Structure 1
């Protein structure tokens, strides 16, 4: 299973990577520090679906291209690539929860720090 972590925080990358490796045997983890880096990768490999992640853990507050911008760019590709995307954030702003409803691609919201139990449930379901 290929999983992508898009977050500008090194600690969040470390925790998510650590938890994923405790849940899955030999996961393939891609890491990006902003939405533009992740989008560039997906755009480059869009015609090679096995290179793309099936699950994306997406922070919404990042420099260069935040999570919302990443989702908009992903939609503009207009192809059949449809990963399961989970927003990860420490935000408690009701506007973020409302905005999330506008994206069918988003399967859910994971509060930071992500817990092993919640992550395990997601990885097993997908």
Structure 2
């Protein structure tokens, strides 16, 4: 099985900060996309049954926003498994209601995203395989 983390956000600085949080949480370094259509193409090209994506998705972006990305993703026949956490600065409750329309969305995070926000995903059985857990072996004497 292959596990990849994607960040889809048009704010390059926030992408770098979020990627540092992601790496600190024992997730692999994220592939960063500043345009949702590029991320959609990336997922489509890797659409195999052994591919899994953990996606951190901004809602408000130019050209293709997060909702348009999710609608386009849903219109495709996917063998890959895609798990989405919405990342936004919006506190609009309508966004939370809309998020419930998409089965792939498992969480809704409001910025700024903290390390504990991401670490809690490791407790979800569906997402546990994405995390690297270091095994520390004690020397045997």
Do the two structures share a fold, i.e. TM-score over 0.5? yes
Deviation at 1:20, TM superposition (A): 1.3
Equivalent residue number for residue 6 of structure 1? 8
C-alpha distance 43-96 of structure 1, shift in aligned 2 (>3 A): same
Distance 1:60 1:14 in 2: 17
Counterpart secondary structure, 1:21: helix
Q: CA deviation at 1:76?
A: 1.2
For structure 2, which runs of at least 5 residues remain unmatched after alignment?
A: 128-141
Q: 1:59-116: per-residue Cα shift (whole Å, max 9, x none)? A: 0000111100110111111223222100000101121111111111100101111011
Find the counterpart in structure 1 of residue 44 from structure 2.
Answer: 43
Structure with higher helix content: 1
User: How far is 1:54 from its partner?
Assistant: 2.4
Q: Give the distance between the partners of 2:109 and 2:35, measured in 1 at CA.
A: 18
Do residues 65 (structure 1) and 64 (structure 2) align?
A: yes
TM-score between the two structures when normalised by the length of structure 2: 0.79
Residues 10-48 of structure 1 show CA distances to partners (whole Å, capped at 9, x for unaligned) of 1211111111111217x1421101211100111122137
Question: How do residues 1-126 of structure 1 correspond to structure 2 at under 5 angstroms?
Answer: 1-24=3-26, 27-47=28-48, 49-50=50-51, 53-125=52-124, 126=127
Q: Quote the offset at 1:124 in angstroms.
A: 4.8
- For structure 1, the 5+ residue unaligned runs are none
Structure with higher Rg: it is 2
User: Aligned pair count?
Assistant: 123
TM-score, with length taken from structure 1: 0.88
Alpha-carbon RMSD across the aligned residues, in angstroms, is 1.7
The verdict on how the C-alpha distance between 1:104 and 1:48 changes in structure 2, with shifts beyond 3 A counting, is: closer
